[in-house]
Amino acid sequence: MRLLLISNSTNPGESYLAYAKNQIKDFLREKKQKAIFIPYAAVTFSFDEYEKKVNSVFDEIGHHIIGIHRFANPKEAIENADAIVVGGGNTWHLVKMLQDNKLMGTIRKKVKEGTPYIGWSAGANIACPTLKTTNDMPIVEPAKFKTLNLVPFQINPHYTDEHPTNFGGETREVRINEFIEVNRNVFVVGLREGTMLQRDENNLTLIGNRKARIFKHGETPRELSQEDDFGFLLSEVESQ
């Protein structure tokens, strides 16, 4: 399996996918003729607009994507894809549309057979066993919380340590601690903005200059950098 799981699409003061585009280029290697883009996380703008925005970046690095919404048979489009790209937005909306179109199993099968997968934000969320560590509001109700299960741990994209002045609500760490209290055998990776995880078979590496924060019930959270070994996150038995 080859995965590139990106925390966010845009850093402050940068253009769309600017910090990630060279990594995407290197990850895809040669040009993919049938790179399928899944824009289902878009809610307040059209799938055509999303496809155009992503293509403006991919064309710049010598690649091209085609939105899955352009195909009469989306399942067949995935089966014939030589790369799968999933954009960010609302994870609940993304998951519901993938379920409604019966694409979860098809995508999982293709990726496990070796088709490269790129996802940012919501697209990184759904590579996990469930969507339970998303930051998004449940604006729609999917049939179930289970997602692609391409990695055996959960990701919290856009992870932040900030607790604004005069804000009395829960921090992101508090919310993750709630999750691990009732999901005690699951690691959660707080993936800070400007970073990404790359999986090549059984190797998992962090890319970016910021550390990831690793949570597990009963353990003190760990701060790991791109110099550290993340392989332990894949050591748990993965569902078949």
Q: Which of 136, 163, 217, 235 is catalytic?
A: 136
Residue 235 annotated among the catalytic residues of the structure: no
Dist CA 124 CA 140 (whole Å): 19
Whether 96 contacts 146, CB under 8 Å: no
Residue 239 annotated among the catalytic residues of the structure: no
Q: Which of 9, 63, 69, 121 is catalytic?
A: 121
Dihedral sign from CA coordinates of 180, 162, 230, 19: positive
What order of strands is seen across the sheet that includes strand 196-200? 65-67, 35-38, 83-86, 117-120, 2-6, 196-200, 203-207
The token duo for 197 is: 């995880």
Whether 85 contacts 101, CB under 8 Å: no
Q: Which of 158, 163, 225, 229 is catalytic?
A: 158
Residue 121 annotated among the catalytic residues of the structure: yes
The catalytic residue positions are: 121, 136, 158
